[in-house]
Amino acid sequence: MKPRLSRRAMLQLGGGALLGAWAAQSRAPLAAPPAGGYRWRNWSGLQSCAARELATPGDEAELAKLLHEAARTGVPLRCVGAGHSFSPLVPTAGKLVSLDRMSGLLSHDAAAGEATLLAGTRIGLLARLLDEKGLALRNQPDIDAQSYAGAISTATHGTGAGLPALHADARALRLLTPSGLALDCGKGRDDDLLQAARVSLGSLGVIARATVAALPAYHLQRKLWLLPAQDMLEAAPELARRHRHFEFYYLPFTGYAAAIVHDIRPPGPASRPASADEDMLRELRRLRDWLGGMPALRRWTARRLIDPDLSELAFDKSWRLLSTVRPTRFNESEWHVPREAGIACVREVIDKLERRNDVFFPLEFRFVKADDAWLSPFYRRDSCSIAIHAAAGEPHDYLLTEIAPLFRRYEGRPHWGKLHPYGAADFAALYPRWSDFLKLRRELDPKGALLNHHLRRVFGVPA
Amino acid sequence: MAMDWAMAAGRWLGWAWLGVLAGCGGGKPQAADLQRAESMRPADARLAGKYQRSCLICHGNQASQAPLAGFAPAWKPRLEKGMPLLLAHVRDGFNAMPVRGYCNDCSDEEFGRLIAFMAGDGGEGAR
């Protein structure tokens, strides 16, 4: 049996002093907003802005009025959801709009396998509301605080080689535009608009409602186990093929990776071990803090501490297992590469990451099925997703300066809501329907009422 | 990112129980506490709607490390710091809680009532 550090030993090594630093990540109070204005900050604390106002329309008429005003006055408007995007999609000196009051299920049709919801509904609430009707989403992202509109607009996804991202299950959308249009698309109406609107970064209009595919409610069993990293890289494609959901986490400077699979099982009593995610993250960070300057000793210590034979099982309703909550704030960059190149790419990324002794956050590797949305990073390309993280408040520039160039060589498409250095020319080369999308954007929002500085760079629109 | 790897890895490292909920104090919620946190709602239907779409995501889930709704021992030390500070935390964000706690249409008065409800002091009742 591997030796393990006891709590006492950890404290003797100085952990007690570090606990204080982790006990509360208080944030500086937000600066006073402009008169009558609103100061916004994203979840990680990286992005912020002083907006003129935070508007919370209660229905489509109020939302349409806000859009009309934006077009008329030239004061731009950006929608904000849960603030879980790390890229600056939200910041504006204009007006922020939250769809928090436009939340809830409007109808459901179990026979057709679909439900219609207001687009401000958060994923976690949507899952609960569907469950009350005996339904469930086909897949979920691993964080469920996002509004539905925000999640699909940035191509938020879960994992599963045979499962597409959330937006692919949007069968119909209603889009309100700055020019005063209420456009319904999907289910035989304007399929091109649906494929453009599914992933549209809030740039075509504001999604007010959606009809989404839903399955009969189902239970999942989760299994989690460790493998030496090299074994995991070899086994990953087969594990992805055999299981409905498969992903792995590479634990930096340990030589190990953790596999997680979920598979559908008949209903039964729930069984969920208490999450120890934060404790593990704390210990990986502590190992970095103590031994980061001695990577060989850091690896040796980690190998001595890890018992690779243990595994865990959990069983519950799908929505309770597929999504969770993140107590520790971080910044993130995520790239989607062609599936056949995923393992080769992640090998390079791991090698590059471990040249930096300050890295301790696990790397996440997932599988996503192709879809047809014009700006989907999975557009007609089965993909592997590679996510890299840095703790909030720690340096993260290297995610873009050192790691992003690797993804470029693999034709990686960045997650829209996560950090990336790309501009319009990069995207034009990556997205076959890029120019079609730009043309549609100009038609629906000719004055750029829905753009901010970041989106102007993304779309190549001069200020 | 999902970090469920830690559910097992924490145990593999033998450190899983180290520093759990540092700063929360008041002991560990039991199964009944977790079930109650999942099911309790404010009696006021309007407030219940806001609670369900905003607060429940974290305060009904122990994994979030946010103080669990209805679990008084987690709230007692926080309440002792005074409602003005708790309201400031909601407005500015605190730990993993974002600015305005996922409730962009909540007033300060409603935030206060939601805190009172979650702290289980009977201020809003439960159903």
Beta-carbon contacts of residue A363 (< 8 Å; ≥ 6 apart): A249, A250, A252, A346, A349, A350, A353, A386, A387, A388, A389
Do A33 and A64 contact (CB within 8 A), yes or no? no
Tell me whether residues B3 and A277 touch, CB distance under 8 A.
Answer: yes
Tell me whether residues B53 and A23 touch, CB distance under 8 A.
Answer: no
The more confident residue out of A273 and A186 is: A186
Chain-centroid distance, C-alpha A31 = 28
Tell me whether residues B15 and A307 touch, CB distance under 8 A.
Answer: no
pLDDT above 60 (res A1): no
Q: What is the nearest CA distance from A264 to chain B, expressed in angstroms?
A: 18
pLDDT digits (tens, 9 = 90+) for A52-98: 999 999 999 999 999 999 999 999 999 999 999 999 999 999 999 99
Tell me whether residues B53 and A224 touch, CB distance under 8 A.
Answer: no
Least-confidence region, from A229-233, A267-271, A428-432, B15-19: B15-19
B70 dihedral zone (left: phi>0; alpha: psi -120 to 50; beta): left
Measured CA to CA, the distance from residue A364 to residue A361 in angstroms comes to 9
Tell me whether residues A280 and B5 touch, CB distance under 8 A.
Answer: yes
All residues of chain A having their beta carbon less than 8 Å from the beta carbon of residue B105 are 56, 98, 100-101
pLDDT digits (tens, 9 = 90+) for A98-123: 999 999 999 999 999 999 999 999 99
pLDDT for B5 equals: 44
Q: What is the nearest CA distance from A202 to chain B, expressed in angstroms?
A: 18
Q: What is the nearest CA distance from B127 to chain A, expressed in angstroms?
A: 17
pLDDT for A34 equals: 60
Q: What is the nearest CA distance from B121 to chain A, expressed in angstroms?
A: 24
Measured CA to CA, the distance from residue A240 to residue A235 in angstroms comes to 9
**Number of Cβ within a 10 Å radius of residue B73:** 16
All residues of chain A having their beta carbon less than 8 Å from the beta carbon of residue B20 are 279
Residue B54 CB-density burial (10 A; 0-12 exposed, 13-18 middle, 19+ buried): buried
All residues of chain A having their beta carbon less than 8 Å from the beta carbon of residue B102 are 82, 100, 122, 145
Tell me whether residues A325 and B96 touch, CB distance under 8 A.
Answer: yes
Closest Cα in chain A to B5: A258
SS3 A368: strand
Nearest to B6 among A103, A276, A308 (CB): A276
All residues of chain B having their beta carbon less than 8 Å from the beta carbon of residue A83 are 98-99
H or E stretch covering A259? strand A256-265
pLDDT for A454 equals: 98
Tell me whether residues A275 and B6 touch, CB distance under 8 A.
Answer: yes
User: Percentage of chain B with pLDDT > 70?
Assistant: 74
Do B113 and B41 contact (CB within 8 A), yes or no? no
Tell me whether residues A224 and B5 touch, CB distance under 8 A.
Answer: yes
Tell me whether residues B18 and A279 touch, CB distance under 8 A.
Answer: yes
Query: Is residue B70 very low, low, confident or very high in pLDDT (cuts 50, 70, 90)?
Result: very high
Measured CA to CA, the distance from residue A206 to residue A61 in angstroms comes to 12
Q: What is the nearest CA distance from A436 to chain B, expressed in angstroms?
A: 32
Do A319 and A368 contact (CB within 8 A), yes or no? no
Q: CA angle, A339 as apex, A335 and A343 as ends, to 5°?
A: 80
Closest Cα in chain A to B35: A270
List of E strands, A188-244: 206-213, 215-216, 219-228
Q: What is the nearest CA distance from A277 to chain B, expressed in angstroms?
A: 4
H or E stretch covering A130? helix A123-132
Between the CA of residue A315 and those of A167, A268, A319, B32, what are the distances in Å? 26, 8, 11, 18
The more confident residue out of B123 and A196 is: A196
pLDDT digits (tens, 9 = 90+) for B30-54: 889 999 999 999 999 999 999 999 9
Tell me whether residues B16 and A279 touch, CB distance under 8 A.
Answer: yes
Q: For residue A89, give the nearest of A202, A211, A8, A11 by alpha carbon.
A: A202
pLDDT for A278 equals: 82
**Number of Cβ within a 10 Å radius of residue A20:** 10
Mean pLDDT of A255-279: 91
Q: What is the nearest CA distance from B80 to chain A, expressed in angstroms?
A: 16
Tell me whether residues B66 and A24 touch, CB distance under 8 A.
Answer: no
Which two three-digit tokens encode residue A219?
């239970």
Mean pLDDT of A367-373: 98
Closest Cα in chain A to B105: A56
Q: Render the burial of A35-63: b for 16+ CB within 10 Å, e for the rest.
A: eebbbbbbbbbbbbbbbbbbbbbeebeeb
Measured CA to CA, the distance from residue A435 to residue A428 in angstroms comes to 7
H or E stretch covering A314? strand A311-317
**Number of Cβ within a 10 Å radius of residue B99:** 23
Sheet strand arrangement including A103-109: A103-109, A114-119, A206-213, A170-176, A182-186
Query: Is residue B124 very low, low, confident or very high in pLDDT (cuts 50, 70, 90)?
Result: low
The length of chain B, given as a count of residues:
127
Reduced DSSP (H G I as helix, E B as strand, rest coil) percent helix, strand, coil of chain A, to 5? 35, 30, 40
Which two three-digit tokens encode residue A208?
């007010």
Tell me whether residues B16 and A7 touch, CB distance under 8 A.
Answer: no
**pTM given for the model:** 0.90
Closest Cα in chain A to B99: A41
Least-confidence region, from A253-262, A300-309, A422-431, B82-91: A300-309
Kindly report the three-state secondary structure assignment for every residue of A66-91.
Answer: HHHHHHHHCCCEEEECCCCCCCCCCC
H or E stretch covering A441? helix A434-444
